Amino acid sequence: MSAFRNIKLLRLCLAILCLPVAAAGQSAPDAMTTLDSADTPANISRYEALISDLESRYGAYHVDLSETLVGLGRAYQEKGDYAAAVSALQRSLHINRVNNGLYDSGQLPILSLLIEANKARRDWQALDQNYHYRYWITRRAYGEKDPRQLPALYDAAHWHLDAYYGGVDEYPLPHLLKAYDLYTRAVRILEANGGPDNPDLVTPLYATARTLYEMRQLAANFFAGEKTGISEDNRTGFNERTTDSENQLYAIVGNTFREGKQALERAIAIYRNHPELPAEERAAALVHLGDWHLLYDKTGKALDNYHEVYSIAGSEEGLLKKIDGLFSEPRSIPVLRLPDNGQPQQSPVDKDANVNYVIASFNVSETGRPFNIHILEAKPANDASMRRQARQDIRGTRFRPRFEKGQPVASTNVNFRYVFPGTLQ
């Protein structure tokens, strides 16, 4: 073991001697730091020289090549050459597998860099594969019920929602089904570690309900299209599902209201069983249940939930002000937060500078329905068909109505930015 360690140190020293910027006696980590701080073109040249030297001395699969290729990939990313970055990072990943096996957790930072490059290149197929491979490795490393896998799980689930909103595939239904599976898996993991009343369950329960609602919308659009003769070009994937297992998934779509309601009621129960949690979060959970009823045209039930929210506040002025804020203006629903893992909760559709959108002004009734829709601004500006589609989609959007003195009221001149889905292709 001592001889092997000495040989490895000798190899590192020889590699360092190949770097013009490395001072005599500088350690390998110091050399890498120097490379990281150098100008990008020179940085790339030095990494390439180091890689060439390592290959000539120790062969094409030496373990040290993996880390050096990561450095090269990062340098290419800084330069904006994402194709070259992907090439270097994929080779790094392969060398890591050859030396350490398919399940080695040392692949995780490489995959994170690959995911960044895939996004920059809009390579959605590779992005999908790398999100799931990263999650698979994390699962193998920590075990089926270990909560440390949750960040990678949530990243993969969020990707599928982003892919659905962005229309990256011809048939978007599988993305919703995969997101649903991952969020429900998160629920099971948290139950196994903290019990059925674990407060950490709230956000994956919300995410499950949100995904169920998107399934319902997709199903509604598909069947509406079928009635008007649109079946082959429906862009949903419903007509592609014929196996028994796929038919079982039809039941999920058909029961979205019931399952989503159960998830939201469970979140409310968790807050009820944990009085130490913020009262405004319990109030928000009741608001979400009211929104859910409103989305499914159960207006009476929705109003019952909304009024119950005010009963939580009682005479507590600070809490009452926060609740008033939930009803201060019409809000498109559902407004269900996702487990954000410390990251901004924003779809790539909204982050993309090239998205198509409209800004509309309209009124909202006391039951949350928009009417008198006027397009104020649009991109592209003169596309009449997109304006028609925007009006149709906004008309189909449900809004939580504004409240005054604890009662829903109509609102006028509501401004709303609508981003067209399917702009990631």
What is the model's pLDDT at position 168?
A: 86
pLDDT band, residue 341 (cuts 50/70/90): low
What is the model's pLDDT at position 216?
A: 87
The count of residues in the chain is: 425
pLDDT band, residue 340 (cuts 50/70/90): low
Residues 213-234 have pLDDT tens digits of 998 888 777 665 543 233 334 4
- State the Cα–Cα distance between residues 97 and 33, nearest whole angstrom: 25
Domains in the chain, CATH or no CATH each: 1-121 (1.25.40.10), 348-419 (3.30.2420)
pLDDT higher than threshold 90 for residue 26: no
Other CB atoms within a 10 A radius of the CB of residue 389 amount to: 15
Do residues 129 and 154 touch, judged by C-beta distance below 8 A? no
- What does DSSP assign to residue 131? H
Helices (H), 228-341: 244-254, 256-273, 279-295, 299-313, 317-326
pTM of the model: 0.81
Cα 20–chain centre separation: 43
- State the Cα–Cα distance between residues 308 and 250, nearest whole angstrom: 34
From the number of C-beta atoms within 10 Å of its C-beta (0-12, 13-18, 19+), residue 167 rates as: middle
Q: Residue 84: which of 120, 132, 109 has the closest Cα?
A: 120
What is the model's pLDDT at position 310?
A: 87
- State the Cα–Cα distance between residues 134 and 152, nearest whole angstrom: 7
- State the Cα–Cα distance between residues 75 and 56, nearest whole angstrom: 22
- State the Cα–Cα distance between residues 115 and 129, nearest whole angstrom: 9
Position 104: which residue type? D
Asked if residue 334 has a cis previous peptide bond (ω within 30° of 0), the answer is yes
- State the Cα–Cα distance between residues 389 and 357, nearest whole angstrom: 11
Average pLDDT over residues 305-324: 87
- State the Cα–Cα distance between residues 25 and 388, nearest whole angstrom: 70
Q: What are the two backbone dihedrals, phi and then psi, of residue 166, each rounded to the nearest 5 degrees?
A: -85, -10
What is the model's pLDDT at position 336?
A: 87
Residues 96-120 have pLDDT tens digits of 999 999 889 999 999 999 999 999 9
pLDDT higher than threshold 60 for residue 292: yes
Residues 172-224 have pLDDT tens digits of 888 999 999 999 999 999 999 999 999 999 999 999 999 999 988 887 776 65
Residues 116-144 have pLDDT tens digits of 999 999 999 999 999 999 999 999 999 99
Q: What are the two backbone dihedrals, phi and then psi, of residue 402, each rounded to the nearest 5 degrees?
A: -75, 145
